[in-house]
Structure 1
Amino acid sequence: MIREIVKIDEEKCNGCGLCVPSCAEGAIKIVNGKAKLIADNLCDGLGACLGDCPEGAITIERREAEEFDEVAVEEHLNKEGKPAPAGHGPAAHAPAHGGGCPSARVMNIDRQPAPAAAEEAGTRQSQLRQWPVQMHLVPPTAPFLRDADLLLAADCAPFAYADFHKDFLAGKALLIGCPKLDDGQAYLEKLTAMLRGNNIKRLTVVHMEVPCCSGLIAIARQAIAACGKDVPLETIRIGIQGDVK
């Protein structure tokens, strides 16, 4: 079948091994000093390993590959003496919700109402200064990108972090996207064009703590490398509980 799957550039790989623990399926190993995808059917193609590669050696490509197999993942991890990720295995063969990725794990968050005295009086003003915000819809020539302090945020981040506008968005141009559900290659090409065609002062990436969301960091790093400019990059990780990690 034709699907998205991890691609490792051995010339860029320095064998640091940071990608290995980030792959919950155990699909990557260090072999002869280089990271290797050991089997196509163990890779879900979500790219949780992308953001952990300091050399930008890991990307997602679309090619002919064996279908991702959750049963094979469980058997492989059992042989390695590692627990299977939540959502993997025969019991998880209900309609797929992300191939066992932690971003799709259903949970309740025990949140107590804030004391009345802690609530701010009145309505807080939005810090959004442009439209649209979805990366697919923002043209690289948008006037609000010129000389901008650019914020690239995961779709979920503004909902998880209560003070997103005040702490992160104020004074910035905003792009939002999801590296798991959207076309990461299209994001990379669009962001590269934005960085190349505008005098971006700084790029800040606000992403969620779930592994697949680190794909935004990889996209940002690759876009900076491809645009030919030295754009400062800052990354901020938001926990599912709404805290800054």
Structure 2
Amino acid sequence: MKTVRKIIEIDEERCDGCGQCVISCAEGALEIIDGKARLVSEVYCDGLGACLGECPRGALHVVERKAEAFDPEAVEAYLEQKEAAEEKVPPMQCPSARIQTFPVSRDITPALAEGAAESALGHWPVQIRLIPPTAPFLKGADLLVAADCVPVAYARFHEDFLAGRVVLIGCPKFDNVQEYLQKFAQIFEKAEPRSVTVLTMEVPCCSGLPMIVRKAMEAAGKTTRDIPVEEVVIGARGKILERNAWAA
């Protein structure tokens, strides 16, 4: 039954699909569908507006209108269903996701100086969706969490960033943000990485990636005192625009 109550409203013209609102909605009421934030169901939205401050484009507003009543029990069932559905799809089903490690030097500069094309990649897979939180190469590693456009834009990706690090590549605009959040929380809790470098492009949708890392660290009970984090922003023409260490 519909009643007049507060509920979230999304301005689709302003929304760029960055996914930050999805991360901040504990009820799972928001999802990125066809590149835009969408309200999954009125019954999942409590109307409190926890997502408002996370939108860099000001696309979210709380309005009063007729809507289905907020249903906490439906939210709980929905979140359990989503979690169960994700667990039913083992990330290692795909043959290309078989865990592998490769011997590689932490310093590939000499090889590059001699004209050799040496890769700094020391493991496989590299996609966030395919890497299990229990992968042995994550344990105590220096993590490089990179938006998947970065290696194309930044010419010295291997020597400047990848060498000596374990890379996890993905796109918060097109992939499942909640899945990323849960996976990184498990990685921070179980693998206890030594450090994290978050490497993004200057485009707005990339801003969701550092937000995922931050929220996942909070969920795992970790701070930058436990795991130092550096955020690097790359321009579309391949220049480093910003480089900041997160405050403790």
On whether the aligned pair clears a TM of 0.5, the verdict is yes
> Is 1:185 the counterpart of 2:178 in the alignment?
yes
* Cα shift readout 1:89-113 (whole Å, capped 9, x = no counterpart): xxxxxxxxxxxxxxxxxxxxxxxxx
> Is 1:209 the counterpart of 2:202 in the alignment?
yes
Structure 1 residues not aligned, in runs of 5+: 1-35, 66-76, 78-118
Distance 1:142 1:200 in 2: 12
Distance 1:155 1:39 in 2: 27
**Structure 2: which amino acid aligns with 1:142?**
A
Which residue of structure 2 lines up, in the alignment, with residue 148 of structure 1? Answer: 141
Distance 2:131 2:199 in 1: 18
Distance 1:39 1:197 in 2: 36
Which residue of structure 2 lines up, in the alignment, with residue 240 of structure 1? Answer: 236
Q: Which structure has greater strand proportion?
A: 2
1:158 Cα offset (Å)? 0.6
**Structure 1: which amino acid aligns with 2:230?**
E
* Cα shift readout 1:126-175 (whole Å, capped 9, x = no counterpart): 11000000001000000000110011000010110000111111111110
Which residue of structure 1 lines up, in the alignment, with residue 118 of structure 2? Answer: 125
* Cα shift readout 1:27-86 (whole Å, capped 9, x = no counterpart): xxxxxxxxx9664545536127x39xxxx8578823237xxxxxxxxxxx9xxxxxxxxx
Which residue of structure 1 lines up, in the alignment, with residue 62 of structure 2? Answer: none
Which residue of structure 1 lines up, in the alignment, with residue 220 of structure 2? Answer: 227
Which residue of structure 2 lines up, in the alignment, with residue 64 of structure 1? Answer: 41
Distance 1:136 1:39 in 2: 28
**Structure 2: which amino acid aligns with 1:189?**
Q
Matched positions, count: 153
1:122 Cα offset (Å)? 2.0
Matches within 5 A, 1:1-245: 39-42=10-13, 44=15, 46-47=17-18, 50=20, 61-62=30-31, 63-64=40-41, 121-230=114-223, 231-245=227-241
Aligned identity (percent) is 44
1:199 Cα offset (Å)? 1.8
**Structure 1: which amino acid aligns with 2:138?**
L
Distance 1:219 1:211 in 2: 14
TM-score, length-normalised on structure 1?
Answer: 0.56
**Structure 2: which amino acid aligns with 1:228?**
G
Distance 2:212 2:199 in 1: 13
RMSD: 2.7
Structure 2 residues not aligned, in runs of 5+: 1-6, 32-39, 43-58, 60-111, 242-248
**Structure 1: which amino acid aligns with 2:18?**
G
* Cα shift readout 1:161-194 (whole Å, capped 9, x = no counterpart): 0001111111111100001111111111111111
TM-score, length-normalised on structure 2?
Answer: 0.56
Distance 2:176 2:206 in 1: 13
SS of equivalent residue, structure 1 residue 219:
helix
Distance 1:58 1:165 in 2: 36
SS of equivalent residue, structure 2 residue 124:
coil
